[in-house]
Copies of this chain bind each other. A is one copy, B any other.
Amino acid sequence: MDVTSKNLVVEKAKTSRIEQIDFDHLPFGANFTDHMFVCDYKNGQWETPKIIPYQPLMMEPSASVFHYGQAVFEGMKAYKDDEGGIWLFRPDENFRRINRSGERLAMPAFPEEYFFEGLKKLLLLDQEWIKPGIGNSLYIRPFVIASQPAIIASPSQEFKFIIICSPAQSYYGGEVRVKIAEKFSRAADGGFGYTKAAGNYAGQFYPTNLAKEEGFQQVVWTDANTHEYIEEAGTMNIFIRLGDKLITCPTSDRILDGVTRKSVIALAEDRGIEVEVRPIKVVELLEGMKDGSLKEMFGSGTAAVINPILGFGYKGERYELPKVENSYAATIKKQLMDIQYNRAEDKFGWRYRVK
């Protein structure tokens, strides 16, 4: 045990598991680095955070995360450039968002210094796990879970803030065709769809399984009231290109305010592309297919950066998007990744140097 600062205790792993990892064939999110960050909340305060060898958690069966879903998470990535520099992309956004999610779920805010000091130390310890090269990254998963052992349906008084890291390869989303939701929904007005709360995700699995049986890979959710407006996919915000305009719906209490989404908007505007942030009707997609103005659809999110959508299904019909020259998706994805990997100018100050 060596105490790095009064705010962080580090216990190093005796051996590394890195040799067991096949970095050329990485399943997403199944391998984890040698260390993890853990900080407990008890008696009204966050205790001294620790970095410890990656290990199972001992949880009481009555811990409220198991019963009431009081849990939030984030998803971010670390990138290594060709000089061995290590970078994060807009981590302040993720930090603020995990606390915003937590607030909606009656969880205590996590201190900014603990987060950044802990995260940087963790990345430095496990830096060998971050491979250089476009597409390679270390997926970082901060999460907070309610750990108080009491099955009463009220806010927990104890929590664990944890960060685990998983090496990731270029996340090739594959051919993505989406089903536009007609019956099921993801989030309610006045609910917590805008948070990365655990409870927003499991509810999507069953409708997504049904969509998969019909040959789609993902669901694009629509508003629960009318199913007339498209909202977002399971882990991606949605953009459409109508003519030369790029359009995405506004965020709301139902829709996650994606970091990639806002970066795409900024980069597109910076390139002189006209961006409209406004509700998108499903019928606009149908009309755009008919008159040829719907040129592109894509999802934006940390895992896949930008994932082109090749087609969609709606009310029993299937629609295939045309092949497009000078795709916005491809251009913006490249520019975004060049910034993330420290290969291009960082005009907006989005990069954050870890090392």
The 8 Å CB contact of A60, one of B56, B150, B181, B200, is: B56
Instruction: Point out the residues of chain B lying under 8 angstroms from A238, CB to CB.
Output: none
Contacts A153-B235, A184-B190, A189-B224 given; indicate if A56 touches B67 (C-beta within 8 A): no
Q: How far is the CA of A62 from the CA of B29 in the complex (A)?
A: 8
Please choose the segment from A43-51, A69-77, A129-137 that sits at the chain B interface, where 4 or more of its residues have CB less than 8 A away: A69-77
Q: Does A298 touch B at the CB level, under 8 Å?
A: no
Q: Which of B105, B149, B200, B224 contacts A206 (CB 8 A)?
A: B105
Q: A71, B69: Cβ atoms under 8 Å?
A: yes
B151 touches A141 (CB 8 A): yes
Q: Does A324 contact B (CB under 8 A)?
A: no
Q: How far is the CA of A187 from the CA of B200 in the complex (A)?
A: 11
Residues from 4 to 30 in A contacting B, C-beta threshold 8 Å: 27-30
Docked complex Cα distance between A3 and B65 (Å): 32
- A141 CB to closest chain B CB (Å) equals 5
A115 located at the interface, meaning its Cβ lies under 8 Å from any Cβ of chain B in the complex: no
Q: Does A183 count as interface, using CB distance less than 8 angstroms? A: yes
Known: A29-B150, A36-B61, A105-B206. A191 touches B200 (CB 8 A): no
Within 8 Å of chain B (Cβ to Cβ): is A145? yes
Which secondary structure dominates chain A's binding surface? loop
Interface centre among A29, A183, A190, A227, by most chain B C-beta atoms within 10 angstroms, is A190
Are A69 and B69 in contact, with the CB atoms below 8 A?
Answer: yes
A209 at interface by CB-CB < 8 Å: yes
Interface size on A, residues (CB 8 A): 70
Query: Given contacts A61-B56, A191-B186, is CB(A205)–CB(B69) below 8 Å?
Result: no
As a 0/1 sequence over residues 235 to 274 of chain A, the CB contacts with chain B under 8 angstroms (1 = contact) are 1000000000000000000000000000000000000000
Please tell me if the beta carbons of A203 and B209 are within 8 angstroms of each other in the complex. Answer: no
A185 to B202, CA, bound (A): 18
- Interface residues, chain A, with chain B CB atoms under 8 Å away: 27-30, 32, 36, 54-62, 65-71, 73, 103-106, 139, 141, 143, 145-146, 149-155, 162, 164, 166, 181, 183-192, 197-206, 208-209, 224-225, 227, 234-235
